[in-house]
């Protein structure tokens, strides 16, 4: 039986993971859970899955939970999160905390020798080379696109592969031009046509920043150069990625959009679990369409390729500036089309350095956030 520690158990990925566990109780046991501040949902998860250790990042929420479960070890804050990530009884850690907050606990889980189911792309975006150096156990992708690549690459020699192709839904503004995007609101951007996700990743999908971060993650996961990783828009979200071979043939992974598929594959790899997804009814699908991304309108994707080629701390700075830009956009401080402008300016002012340890990542992240605020203040 595989023993699981789930980082981000009350988020959409965490809940989908627990649903897979619920369907296969003979295969998996949850031993530790970590979340933010949702006391009621965590309480229900504790009652159902009976973990040995839990933590909430919010200390007041953790105290309320502790009063309800006096026999359970309930921790809080950054220290509690790291303890869940490193928990001795867990042999598989599902990393599903959103954003850069997921870096340090995932880093600690990697150092502890855990097998990682990686849904937090920022871990590799910020510290890919460092994480890969430290990993003693497999890092199995959970993002649907990277899981698709992982599946398509099985059994194939690297020298036979020409390129990796990530698909993107295009978000709610697919086909729109810059002039049309000047006055879109946060609520407009949060209406993703396919996936139900958190606010940050949904806005990133609308700007194509999310797909650019996935390019960086794919580079570190599969060790292909950026010029051999492409993106196509596929708004039906049925084909999750392609692998193209040197003879011109391709393999693709198809499924209905449901994160339980890649989660189950990561949990059970190299085996597969039965009856996780509703099968595709091909006649009902009728048409699968693909188009090139509009790099002039959605410049965040281009900025990600640029940061990847710059290397070192550049992706750290890119990610931090994006997190700040999304917050500023949702708060009404900047427009949608300002997002790539301000991110690019932060990148322009950054002097790239190499990453030797986790402190280098954290320092670059702090520099970028400070610089973002300086630029935002000057804009206003």
pTM above 0.85, yes or no: yes
| Same domain flag for 165 and 61 | no
DSSP states along 196-247: ---HHHHHHHHHTHHHHHHHHHHHHHH---GGGEEEEE-TT--EEEEEEETT
Domain boundary among 108, 123, 142: 142
Whether 182 and 64 share a structural domain: no
Residues 90-137 have pLDDT tens digits of 999 999 998 889 999 999 999 999 999 999 999 999 999 999 999 999
Residue 231, burial from CB neighbour count under 10 angstroms (0-12, 13-18, 19+): buried
- Confidence check: pLDDT of 298 > 60: yes
* Cβ atoms of residues 339 and 361 within 8 Å: no
pLDDT in tens, 39-85: 999 999 999 999 999 999 999 999 999 999 999 999 999 999 999 99
The answer to whether residues 176 and 211 belong to one domain is yes
Residue 191: pLDDT band (50, 70, 90) is confident
Indicate if 131 and 227 belong to the same structural domain.
no
The domain spanning residue 23 has which CATH number?
3.40.50.720
Question: Is 135 found in the same domain as 22?
Answer: yes
Domain final residue pick, 108, 142, 176 = 142
Please check the confidence at residue 187 and state whether its pLDDT lies above 90. no
Domain that holds residue 250: 149-258+289-307
Query: Does residue 135 share a domain with residue 159?
Result: no
Check: CB of residue 81 under 8 Å from CB of residue 34.
yes
Q: Is the pLDDT assigned to residue 196 strictly greater than 70? A: no
SS3 letters for 63-98?
HHHHHHCCCCEEEEHHHHHHHHHHCCCCCEEEECCC
Do 137 and 244 lie in one domain? The reply is no
Q: What pLDDT does 309 receive?
A: 97
Q: Looking at the structure, do residues 46 and 133 belong to the same domain, yes or no? A: yes
Q: Is 263 inside a domain boundary?
A: no
Q: 202 and 101, same structural domain? A: no
Average pLDDT value for residue range 271-277? 95
Residues 19 and 132 in one domain: yes
Average pLDDT of span 174-198: 81
pLDDT in tens, 283-292: 999 899 999 9
Number of helices (H) and strands (E) in the chain: give both, helices first. Answer: 16, 11
């Amino acid at each position: 039986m595989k023993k699981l520690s789930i980082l981000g158990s009350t988020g959409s990925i965490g809940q989908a993971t627990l649903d897979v566990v619920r369907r296969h109780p003979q295969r998996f046991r949850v031993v530790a859970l970590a979340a933010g501040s949702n006391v009621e949902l965590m309480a229900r998860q504790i009652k159902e899955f009976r973990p040995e250790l839990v933590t909430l990042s919010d200390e007041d929420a953790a105290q309320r939970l502790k009063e309800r479960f006096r026999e359970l070890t309930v921790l809080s804050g950054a220290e509690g999160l790291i303890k869940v990530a490193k928990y001795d009884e867990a042999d598989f850690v599902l990393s599903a905390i959103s954003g850069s907050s997921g870096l340090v606990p995932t880093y600690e889980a990697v150092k502890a020798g855990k097998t990682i189911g990686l849904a937090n792309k920022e871990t590799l975006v910020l510290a890919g080379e460092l994480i890969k150096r430290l990993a003693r156990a497999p890092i199995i992708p959970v993002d649907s696109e990277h899981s698709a690549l992982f599946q398509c690459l099985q059994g194939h020699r690297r020298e036979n592969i020409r390129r990796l192709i990530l698909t993107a839904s295009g978000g709610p503004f697919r086909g729109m031009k810059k002039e049309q995007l000047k006055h879109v609101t946060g609520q407009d951007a949060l209406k993703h046509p396919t996936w139900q996700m958190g606010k940050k990743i949904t806005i990133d999908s609308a700007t194509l920043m999310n797909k650019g971060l996935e390019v960086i993650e794919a580079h570190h996961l599969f060790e292909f150069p950026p010029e051999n990783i492409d993106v196509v828009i596929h708004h039906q979200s049925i084909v999750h990625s392609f692998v193209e071979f040197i003879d011109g043939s391709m393999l693709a992974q198809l499924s209905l959009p449901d994160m339980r598929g890649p989660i189950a594959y990561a949990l059970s790899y190299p085996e597969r679990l039965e009856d996780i997804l509703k099968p595709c009814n091909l006649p009902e699908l009728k048409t699968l369409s693909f188009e090139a991304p509009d790099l002039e309108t959605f410049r965040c994707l281009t900025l990600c390729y640029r940061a990847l080629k710059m290397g070192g701390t550049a992706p750290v700075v890119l990610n931090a500036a994006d997190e700040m830009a999304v917050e500023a956009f949702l708060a009404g401080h900047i427009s949608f089309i300002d997002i790539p402008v301000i991110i690019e300016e932060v990148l322009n002012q950054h002097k790239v350095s190499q990453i030797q340890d986790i402190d280098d990542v954290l320092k670059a992240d702090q520099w970028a956030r400070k610089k973002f605020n300086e630029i935002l203040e000057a804009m206003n």
